[in-house]
Amino acid sequence: MASQSPAAARPLADRLEVGAPRIAAVLVRMVGRLPAPVRRRVLTDAFSRAQTAFNRGDWEAIFALFADDVRYVPPPALGPGPVTGRDAVLAFWRQIALRHPHSTIENLSLEEASPSRFVRTARLTHPSEDGTLRYVIRQVTELRGGRVVSQVNEQIG
């Protein structure tokens, strides 16, 4: 039985972000104006969808709302310092997927520092023929204009 492609498994919100990122960015800006409890529910759902997309290897869905000039600092366990640009981030994770095709992420906590800044703690696992790499990150994501303009991953465990 053939496996389903990552794109075929996308929920509607992910399909919107990938297919119409400008519209999705407008919606993200609107969410920033909602009351805190509503923003929290939307934020939790967005990071849950990101976890699901990561675990199915759907890099386009994960990085759909990254700005073209995003500043991205990958988890230290995976490589060099900052990567600049959405295309470079996608290329980075596609290379990781070649070495670790069954990587997973598990959201551990999520807090909203402001309507445009979020802090997530997550556990990543990267199985390979050489063994399994496991670590915990603290990820700080910053938005501007409904797009991710910075994401910094700090290894904490």
What is 123-150 written as a DSSP string? EEEEEETTEEEEEEEEEEEEEETTEEEE
80 compared with 31, residue with greater pLDDT: 31
**Does position 4 have pLDDT exceeding 80, yes or no?**
no
Domain for residue 70, yes or no?
yes
Q: What is the CATH number of the domain that holds 113?
A: 3.10.450.50
pLDDT band at 72 (very low <50, low <70, confident <90, very high): very high
Phi, psi at 148, each rounded to 5°: -75, 120
Domain for residue 23, yes or no?
yes
Supply the pTM of this predicted model. 0.90
125: which 2 tokens?
A: 């696992």
Domain for residue 118, yes or no?
yes
To the nearest whole number, what is the mean pLDDT of the chain? 92
Whole-number pLDDT of residue 130: 84
Domain for residue 4, yes or no?
no
Domain for residue 3, yes or no?
no
pLDDT band at 20 (very low <50, low <70, confident <90, very high): very high
Overall average pLDDT of the 68-88 stretch: 94
Angle, helices 21-31/12-19, rounded to nearest 10 degrees: 120
**Does position 139 have pLDDT exceeding 80, yes or no?**
yes
Q: Which amino acid is at 116?
A: S
Q: How far is CA 55 from CA 29, 35, 51, in A?
A: 27, 30, 6
DSSP tag of 2 = P
Number of domains in the chain: 1
Domain housing 132? 11-155
Residues 6+ apart with CB under 8 A from 118: 43, 47, 110, 111, 112, 140, 141
Whole-number pLDDT of residue 1: 41
5 compared with 146, residue with greater pLDDT: 146
Decide if 125 contacts 104 (C-beta within 8 A).
Answer: yes
